[in-house]
Structure 1
């Protein structure tokens, strides 16, 4: 694979986490170059809950700060950057970024590996994506139910499939650390955690209606459908309060 130097990313730090200021178009162009580079790029689609987790967990913060690209997937992050005077171009939602990359991938015949969720969901996701994007090659998939003792087996399976893109859908506290720990041995150019995207693609669950998306309230839709998320959602007002209380220091370089 040709060695291509990827462009530098304009960022704004939010509590020490470097968020990309690029819009969706530039983000996709950057990642297109990342695939050509043959070098490992971890993409994190981060939201306020993940920021708050990182502030409470030094190891998680280390994973975040070590990623090659962090995009603002969360209205709260977009608001915080704007509130502090260093706005990002727009929200870059992970679900949309996944589809944009697959659209570009059709042009190049990119190979894609899907990892995560349940056996039924991952199989249906692979089938639907292959039909939707026939120009890409879904070169492998595997459910996310494996422990550390199986990591080597999973890594070997991915390496053998030789994908250009790896999408990982596991628990929020697992998928980013797992990619971060193994990104240099996976042999993949672009690796991205996609959370519940496979559930939506497979038809198991629904994405928030457009009205909620336009109001930047997808979190509210998820909460209404899954009240058990209430405790986790407490991080959203906590993040907002922290930003307002510490406005002068939010975007300072660490």
Structure 2
């Protein structure tokens, strides 16, 4: 079992290496416990919810790989990541989907009086997601909401707004190319204890899109459901065969 020491000193996390990316082996409960300590530390932590497409993007982009290597915690969001860990003989405890981790953190935040900030997606989507989360978790104070449509010129204002709000949790839903590198570049300025990229989670929470049925999630076919609903995702999905081929090659070289 390999381990990584979180920079903030909040403890060691068992990890498995998938194509050079260290992914946490903790289950959902263990992940929430680690992030509870992160909040208590008041030091910024980037949490990446990794899937095969993100790992392939890291292999293809120095910026994305730097984000992966500098992140304090990478959790196995995608079913393909769970499969890869099993294939390489060092499995994770379970899949830790980003949207489920968001809800688990909000639930824990209810008990501990945390605050949250939502950044990303379209204005009507993030506002509706904030409204629904506030109703579901009334004891978590949502201290800020901002859409994800801003460029470099607006960065300073967005960051200052978040700093002034002093949230315990910052959920970021921006496009795949921007999300993790943006968090990595600005996490120290942001100063938020837990900063997590959540992809399309606000779309699901707001009701704009639907998540795959539970039986498909259990069969690890959530990706197929999303592809069927959004055929425009096909070019991105072409990274999956490459990912599987690389994992198989790595496994062969290990034998």
TM-score, with structure 2 as normaliser: 0.95
Partner residue in 1 for 2:228: 224
Check 1:58–1:248 CA distance in 2 against 1; reply closer, same or farther (3 A cut).
Answer: farther
Q: The residue matched to 1:9 in structure 2 has which SS?
A: strand
Deviation at residue 243 of structure 1 after TM alignment: 0.7
Q: The residue matched to 1:172 in structure 2 has which SS?
A: coil
Partner residue in 1 for 2:165: 161
Q: Distance in 2 between matches of 1:213 and 1:88?
A: 17
Please say if 1:7 is aligned against 2:6. Answer: no
Partner residue in 1 for 2:179: 175
Alignment of 1:48-87 (within 5 A): 48-87=52-91
Partner residue in 2 for 1:215: 219
Deviation at residue 246 of structure 1 after TM alignment: 2.2
**1:70-124: CA deviation from partner (whole Å, max 9, x where unpaired):** 0011111111111111111111000000000000000111010000001101111
Please say if 1:102 is aligned against 2:106. Answer: yes
**Which runs of at least 4 in structure 1 moved beyond 2 Å after TM superposition?**
none
**Residue ranges of structure 2 left out of the alignment (5+ in a row):** 1-7
Deviation at residue 7 of structure 1 after TM alignment: 1.1
- The higher relative CO (CA closer than 8 Å, separation ≥ 6) is in 1
Please say if 1:198 is aligned against 2:202. Answer: yes
Report if the CA contact (8 A) 1:84-1:248 is conserved.
no
TM-score, with structure 1 as normaliser: 0.95
**1:19-56: CA deviation from partner (whole Å, max 9, x where unpaired):** 00101110000000000011111000000001111111
Q: The residue matched to 2:180 in structure 1 has which SS?
A: helix
Deviation at residue 5 of structure 1 after TM alignment: 3.8
Deviation at residue 212 of structure 1 after TM alignment: 1.1
Q: Distance in 2 between matches of 1:68 and 1:106?
A: 24
Q: The residue matched to 1:10 in structure 2 has which SS?
A: strand
Tell me how many residue pairs correspond in the alignment: 247
Mean CA deviation greater in 190-199 or 78-87:
78-87
Q: Distance in 1 between matches of 2:56 and 2:187?
A: 24
